[in-house]
Amino acid sequence: MNVFRRLLGERQPNGPNGPSRRWIFVPYDQLTDRVGALAQEDPQDLGIVVIESPWKAARRPYHKAKLALVLANLRHFALEQAGRGVAVRHVVTSGPYRDALRSLARELGPLRVMEPAERELRVDLEPLIGDGTLDVVPHDGWLTTPEHFRSSQDGPPWRMDAFYRYVRRETGILMRDGKPEGGKYSFDAQNRKPWNGDPAAPDPPRFPDDPVKDEVVELVETRFSHHPGTLDPGRIPVTKEDAEVLWGWALEECMTHFGPYEDAMSTQSSGLFHTRISPLLNLCRLLPSRVIHDVAELDVPLSSREGFIRQVLGWREFVRHVHRETDGFRNVPAAASPADAPRTHVPWSDGGWSRWSGRTWGAAGDGRHADVPGLEGAADPSALGADADLPVAFWGKPSGLRCLDTVVNDVWAEGWSHHITRLMVLSNLATLLDVSPREVTDWFWVAYLDAFDWVVEPNVLAMGTFGTGELMTTKPYVSGANYINRMSDYCRGCRFEPKRNCPITPLYWAFLGRHEDALRENPRLRLPLASLAKRGATARRRDAIVFERVRDGLARGEEIEPDVVPARK
């Protein structure tokens, strides 16, 4: 840490940096001076506390790139604030945040903090809030309030569509004279084109090395060498300037074609026309208010502007409210979901890291949730009773399915993939195999740069795996090979042919067959279930055989071969 400490010392403002200043604790995901006290008050009167906690970083086998992204941005943010005249206390703690902050408060007096987005951090800080050590103020980075959420509908169950329409009307975004631009709120039905290589997909920008990032990369590669993933420093934006470069690239190179190709997937480009800004958005290096304003004013097709804004103003805000309202799905109204009441003290899983690595997570002093009261257990809903282990194919062992192997390789190379590959490849296959929703969620949590509890649990535990039933989604998002073949080029060059012997289609029918009773009353599944009823007994037995062979083969870490699908007689 010699480079960072030296630079911070050089930039620290002269004068008092103790109790005479008003001190703010800035969490790792609030790295902005464009909202809150840092935007509203004189920097000369303020001090900030930033904390690095190796204990926090080691509590899960986080992707190395994720650790580097968070840590390098935190350090650059501290340097930026010192350069503005804000006093900076940088602390490294071997334990939870509460311990470090309590010690600092004895010297500096009570501290302020914008309400943390992550439930995990809120729970960590609860004792300090209760005794007045921390004063919590609203998080000004959000676009909507709990009142917006509750006023938008009479849920639970909750629906994003109702919330999005309500917020559009309340904010006036993409509205003209009280009506939505283009005559409708969503252009999702138009944004489903496959991509054949034209127009060309843009190459994402690479970001320069700097001494602070280099120091962080060395730290991660040494102290966290047993963590998974490839750490490519050029992929990681760490400064305020880097964030502007990425956003400028997104506006210039991506937005025109984002809408039509939003659901497309390709081996030629892991991101196509997706902006890749979600990691920076979730760290507040870019603010949702700013990106929505920029896109709303952009001269690109309305379907692209609306599709992007729906993701940020609609879905991102919606999942945050659902997570907050249910206390991270620990308090799910029984009437809102067909699932049994979630078990809320199931031990946190490592997402299958132990089965893949052959080691036990925590055996070498890795951080444990049980060290902090309130963080010792996870919500574990499973509306359809899924409880299988996640296959080691999700950690990079070849499965033989080109779609799965391509996306998994992209994730471990970049710590990112766009939302359709997350939903319709990764979550789809895990759901078809009856994998535990909790373990799938924990895998996403460690693998993705943008995954924090408030976003990953609604997106995966609730939507991607249907773990909470119809609480916030209307159906399981599952498909056979035809969808993947139509929306991607993954099937070209695969050992399986989508219309002949790809196991994903019989896996789909076997899934519907196993869960037919639980799904029978779902109006959005009437057509698929009617088609299931037309499948003869022989076809259904064949589907079940494929499910058992694929599940068991992947559980053993084997590649799936074409003979997994029995020949028709």
pLDDT at 364: 44
Total residues belonging to the chain: 569
Buried b (16+ CB within 10 A) or exposed e, 128-148: beeeebbeeeebbbbbbeeeb
Coil vs helix vs strand at 366? coil
Q: What does each C-alpha distance from 254 to 88, 196, 248, 295, 370 come to in angstroms?
A: 37, 16, 10, 11, 43
148 half-sphere exposure, CB direction, 13 A CA radius? 21
Signed CA dihedral, 301, 304, 307, 311: sign only:
negative
In this structure, the number of other CB atoms found within 10 A of the CB of residue 347 comes to 13
Q: What is the C-alpha separation between 319 and 450, in angstroms, rounded?
A: 14
Signed CA dihedral, 12, 16, 17, 21: sign only:
negative
pLDDT at 360: 87
Helices (H), 386-434: 402-414, 419-421, 428-432
- Residues of the chain short of pLDDT 50, as ranges, are 335-339, 364-365, 369
Give the neighbor-by-neighbor strand order of the sheet with 111-114: 87-92, 46-52, 22-25, 111-114, 134-137
CA triplet 291, 240, 112: central angle to 5 degrees?
85
pLDDT at 365: 47
Q: Which amino acid is at 233?
A: P
pLDDT at 348: 78
pLDDT at 22: 96
φ, ψ for residue 451, nearest 5 deg: -90, 115
pLDDT at 340: 53
**Token output for 79:** 């340097």
Q: What is the C-alpha separation between 196 and 203, in angstroms, rounded?
A: 16
